[in-house]
Amino acid sequence: MILTTTDIIQGAVIRSYLGIVTAEVVYGSNFLRDFFAGIRDIIGGRTGSYERLFEEGQQKALSELEQRARRLGADAILGIEIDTGTINVDQSGVLLLITASGTAVSLN
């Protein structure tokens, strides 16, 4: 399976467009991670725990995107976009949202 952010694959011929595929990964907030991130906000520096969380989430979203495209009979996913965001649950917590989308295609 070819995964790409471009809208073409050089040297490949698209046989058919199978549709848009999407994947979502949602993580709950974690008190300790939030606490240490708050300290980083005060003293400065990178927040490694959140960086690792987003890296893991992006990989999981791409993996899910690939699985959904395979079910359609795709050989590739074009124009992949990954987005991140938050969902406010209440005053004390948020959910982290990572989404991926692209166009599933079959190749000759």
* pLDDT tens by residue, 36-74: 455 555 556 666 667 788 899 999 999 999 999 999 999
Which helix (H) or strand (E) segment holds residue 30: the answer is none
Which one, of 15, 12, 18, 13, lies nearest residue 70 by Cα? 18
Asked if the model's pLDDT at residue 83 lies above 90, the reply is yes
Which helix (H) or strand (E) segment holds residue 16: the answer is strand 14-28
**Tokens matching residue 57:** 């989430």
| pLDDT level of residue 92 (50, 70, 90 thresholds) | low
Which one, of 25, 45, 46, 11, lies nearest residue 96 by Cα? 25
| pLDDT level of residue 34 (50, 70, 90 thresholds) | low
Question: Which residue ranges form the domains of the chain, and what is each CATH number?
Answer: 2-107 (3.30.110.70)
Model confidence, pTM: 0.78
DSSP assignment letter at 90: E
More confident residue, 105 or 33: 105
pLDDT, position 39: 53
> CA angle 51-56-57, nearest 5°?
95
Asked if the model's pLDDT at residue 27 lies above 90, the reply is no
Asked if the model's pLDDT at residue 32 lies above 60, the reply is no
> CA angle 45-51-55, nearest 5°?
160
| pLDDT level of residue 4 (50, 70, 90 thresholds) | very high
